[in-house]
Every structure is written in structure tokens, then in C-alpha cells.
Amino acid sequence: MTILVTGGAGFIGSNFIIDWLEARDEPVINLDKLTYAGNLENLAGLRGDPRYAFFQGDIGDRGLIERLLEKHQPRAVINFAAESHVDRSIHGPGDFVQTNIVGTFNLLECVRAYFAAMDDSGRAAFRFLHVLTDEVYGSLPAGAPAFAETHRYEPNSPYSASKAASDHLVRAYHHTYGLPALTTNCSNNYGPYQFPEKLIPLMIVNALAGERLPVYGDGMQIRDWLYVSDHCAAIRRVLDAGRPGETYNIGGWNEKPNLDIVRAIVGLLDELRPRSDGKSYGGQIAYVADRPGHDRRYAIDAGKIERELGWRPAETFTSGIRKTVLWYLDHPDWIANVRSGAYRDWLEKNYADRSR
């Protein structure tokens, strides 16, 4: 028994593989293109583990996918592979269309052929699990009910539009070809190994470097926050017991404005790694021009997965954010390695014209 994970060197994918091999002995094949956010250092602890194998490649490479499926005969494919940063999608939407839509299509075509060639018992056991985001649902007004699985899709960025398109493809392959597909839509993840373009690691890394903490607009954009290990546990549960053709929303029951997140990080850093001058890191907060089309509020109703599959997050935001800050404080070498020239160039490109 083996599973194939695509995008397994990214933030959520690498956490999933680490958690998977801690929870069970079933081998993992990891396929990752190793773009800027793919980092094999995340998985350094698995070097030499006979249950783990890595292959560098693109989900758009049909020949490679076909060879991996034929050789390793996985009983499940979990697709994390995606371009996933809204700001980058605004600057360059083409990469998002190519990876999230065309890449998913190519992966589905390979998996469809692989599934069709199985015997009855193999088809009964096989699953294709597609990992998505709550951003496909668009923006919620204040006081509106949280996103349920039946909420209409209203993507507002090139990123979320490309993810919504990939979801429609997965749904079509289930209904047209009988592919036993499962879809999960998660809220904002945070935790170890997250590339510091996202809010939480960006604030931690910039604070420690003595740089400004850029907050978009008034900072009152609301998100639901999900600790990454909770997300990984939910995916395992959906893979084990989810009904093919179904969508499961995965959230942390933690709706908070971005500014509150930044202030929580500041408070923890003031406690755990005080500045040498005795001042608070809060003095580094800088309000900058908002990004175009910034969704005001996301919120996940994770009631379905709790009712049907018995999953609920183990971490509160208070416990999860403390674990996250401590991890970054304990891994300065990891931070130094990801803050490369390319990363610095991206920060300059995205934030240079946002001064207010």
C-alpha cells in the first residue's frame, strides 16, 4: 500500500507527509516541481527513511505521472500541487492558470487511465483527494453565515478563480468517469515550514529582522485560522472515511481580523524574544495600501466533517500561534535559507509601492 502526494515539498504538503509517517507506516511517494516555495529542507528528517521517496517533476508532465503510477501502484493520490499566493497571482496570473487548471487536468487524465485499468477491488479502494481553499467562495459580508459546502463559488482573484476551475474539473471527472474523488476546502493555514510571504511567517521573520510589519489597509480583513497539523489530520480522516464525490470544509473555528493576528504575534515575540532596546515589536507595524480586490471576510463552517467523520481541530488559536512562533524562533537557519535573493526581490516588488 502506497500513496502519491503531489506538491509534497510545500508548506501543507510537507507537514502532511511528516504527520502521515508519524501516524502510520504506509509509504509515501512525493512529487514536487520545487518552485520557489517547494523546500526539501522541510523533509530533511525523512532522509534515509525507506517509507519515503521523492521525485522532482511537474503534475503537467504526463509521462512522469504515468511512470510513477505504473511503478508504485498507489491506492490514493493526494493533490496539494498548486500556486497558492493571491499577491503573486495578481502580478502573474499565467502561472496559476498553468499549474492549477492545466496541471490538474493533466493529473486527472493520468489518474483516470490508471483507475480504469484497475480490477474491481483496486477501484473500490482507490481515492483521489483534491486539496482546495475557502477562497473559492468569495468574500462574506459581516454577520453572514460561514461558508458551507453548498455555498456558491464566487472567486475574486486569479488564484481563487484558478482553484475553483480545478475543483470543477475534479467534480466533472467524478460524475463523468466515476473517479472516486474527494475535495477539501480549508481556511487559512499556519504553522511550521510556511514560506514567509504569508501573513504569519512574514510578521515573525520581519519582526526578528527589525523590518516593518506591513498590514494591508485597515487590517480588519477577517480570516478563519487553522493550525496545519489539524488540517493534516482532517485530510487523513477524509481519505479514510469520506464519501467519493463529496466536499468537506476544514476550518479552525477561529475567525480573527488580520490586525489581531499581528498583535498576537507581537505579544508573543515581546514575551519570548524581547527586542534589545526594550521596545515592543508593535512599533514596527506599518499600514500599507491594500491589495486589489482584497476579500473582506472568510469563514468556514466545518460542521459537516465533524458530524459525518468525527473530526474537530485539536488546537485553539492561542495554542497554535504559540507553537508556531516558537518553531520559527527555534529554526533561524531555515529562515536564513529561505530568505534568498529571489525572496528579497519578491518583497520589493510586492511592497515597494504600498507605502502610506
Longest CA span, the chain? 68
Q: Which of 135, 167, 295, 315 is catalytic?
A: 135
153 classed as catalytic: no
298 classed as catalytic: no
Pairwise CA distance, residues 154 & 164, whole Å: 9
Cell output for 17: 507527509
159 classed as catalytic: yes
Cell output for 306: 465533524
Contact 255, 296 (CB under 8 A): no
Q: Which of 159, 216, 281, 298 is catalytic?
A: 159
Q: Which of 19, 83, 134, 301 is catalytic?
A: 134
Task: Tell me the three-class secondary structure of the chain, residue by residue.
Answer: CCEEEECCCCHHHHHHHHHHHHHCCCCEEEEECCCCCCCHHHHHHHCCCCCEEEEECCCCCHHHHHHHHHHHCCCEEEECCCCCCHHHHHHCHHHHHHHHHHHHHHHHHHHHHHHHCCCHHHHHHCEEEEEEEHHHHCCCCCCCCCECCCCCCCCCCHHHHHHHHHHHHHHHHHHHHCCCEEEEEECEEECCCCCCCCHHHHHHHHHHCCCCEEEECCCCCEEEEEEHHHHHHHHHHHHHHCCCCCEEEECCCCEEEHHHHHHHHHHHHHHHCCCCCCCCHHHHEEEECCCCCCCCECCECCHHHHHHHCCCCCCCHHHHHHHHHHHHHHCHHHHHHHCCHHHHHHHHHHHCCCCC
In DSSP terms, 76 is beta-bridged to 3, 127
CA distances from 192 to 167, 284, 329 (A): 27, 23, 11
Would you please indicate which residues are annotated as catalytic (active-site) residues?
A: 134-135, 159
